[in-house]
Structure 1
Amino acid sequence: MRALLEVILLALQLYVYLIVASAILSWLVAFNVVNTRNDFVRSIWNFLDAVTEPALRPIRRILPNLGGVDISPVILILLIIFIQKLIVDYLLPAAF
């Protein structure tokens, strides 16, 4: 049971990294630092969008329009941290 919880924690941490990478790439595209016409950038953009968008879409539907500022990645990261804390504090000590 402990090994499974450790794998879940690792997967959640990797997902946080993917959310951060997606947010940074969206800023770089918005400020025209990188161009999505480049095949490599487009493939990374499509991958990150396919991985993060299913989790971000429900949060974006609930949040009000903030005028171009998207805080849904921050809310999702806070939710993931909350889940990780629950696992570490309540499930891992009982998994001995």
Structure 2
Amino acid sequence: MIFSIVGWILRIISDLLNIYSFLIVIYTLLTWIPRLLVTKVGRVLGKIVEPYLEIFERFIPPIAGISFAPVVALLVIYFVNNYVLYWIANIIRYVLIR
């Protein structure tokens, strides 16, 4: 029973990370057309995505006017989604089996 609850929670976290990755990609595409950023969708996406992207923009300056912060942000989400959640599931499984 506890395994199914933990698995369910980890699956929800994984799905939320996938959705957030998708939002980052959409926001990044919207930045290519500045008029789209001032639309309601652009502003809402900005409020959701920009705080996370700003963390990486502090450390990764734009090169030739192109920001690579979204790429690094997506790589971090990928790492968390595919490795950290897996490690957490294995640790919980190991602790509960003993």
> Which sections of structure 2, spanning at least 5 residues, go unmatched?
1-5, 94-98
1:65 positional shift: 3.7
* Identity value in percent: 25
* 1:58 positional shift: 1.4
Query: Partner amino acid for 1:55?
Result: Y
With normalisation by structure 2, the TM-score equals 0.78
Q: Any gaps of 5 or more consecutive residues in structure 1?
A: 30-34
Higher relative contact order (CA 8 A, sep 6+): 1
Aligned match of 1:79: 76
Runs of 4+, deviation exceeding 6 Å: none
Could you tell me which of 51, 56, 63 is aligned with 1:54? 51
Larger radius of gyration: 2
Residue 2 of structure 1 and its aligned partner are, at CA, apart by 1.1
CA distance in 1: counterparts of 2:82 and 2:21, whole angstroms:
14
Does the C-alpha gap of structure 1 residues 36 and 6 become closer, same or farther in structure 2, counting only changes over 3 Å? Answer: closer
User: Over the residues paired in the alignment, what is the CA RMSD in angstroms?
Assistant: 2.0
Using the size of structure 1 for normalisation, the TM-score is: 0.79
User: Across the two proteins, how many residue pairs are aligned to each other?
Assistant: 88
